[in-house]
Amino acid sequence: MANREEVKQRTVELLHKAGLLLTEEEQKQIEIADMGLGHLEIEGLQLFTYINTDRYCAKELVLFPRQTCPEHLHPPVNGEDGKMETFRCRWGTVYLYVEGEETPNIQGIPPAGKEAFYTARHEIVLRPGEQYTIPPHTKHWFQASDEGAIVSEFSSTSRDEFDVFTDPGVNRLEGINT
């Protein structure tokens, strides 16, 4: 894997390509999340959080070519529903998988040897300007196409530390670099 600064620079370049500009201070806040798995280019993502309050959250999710965010769900927390999130594709193509009727011949490719941890098979293909809302407590995973992708996320409060991953080897908060 490239070093942290190289990953941040690639992330900034993709955001710029999509017309999404961050200030120098914001660029320093880019999060690199390898999910504790140690192979960021395969499973993980880069993100920038604009705001995350007790009412709402807005982020940019940046995925390198074929990079995958592992399957997970957002459970209820402290008596509140799990996070509901809307993904809006800004650049590239993202393959989003949610629970539901299985789509034959999906375009996403679960990481080799990890297929058992990618159970949601209802495919939603998002291209620039398209969006999809994921209900709370719904298993989902997503992967960029061969060119990569940028997705804006608008959601209720984000509590990443409570996310439940299908792969027991994932530790959402481990391996995070800012």
What pLDDT score was predicted for residue 173?
73
Tell me the whole-structure pTM to 2 decimals.
0.95
What pLDDT score was predicted for residue 175?
57
What pLDDT score was predicted for residue 178?
53
Strands 68-73 and 85-98, bridge-based pairing: unpaired
Quick check: 29 and 51 in contact, CB under 8 A?
no
Distance, CA of 115 to CA of 132 (rounded, Å): 24
> What are the Cα distances from residue 114, in Å, to 21, 42, 154, 164?
35, 11, 28, 16
What pLDDT score was predicted for residue 158?
95
Quick check: 141 and 45 in contact, CB under 8 A?
no
Instruction: List the chain residues with pLDDT less than 50.
Output: none
Domain ranges of the chain: 4-177
What pLDDT score was predicted for residue 71?
98
Please tell me the CATH superfamily of domain 4-177, with its number. Jelly Rolls (2.60.120.10)
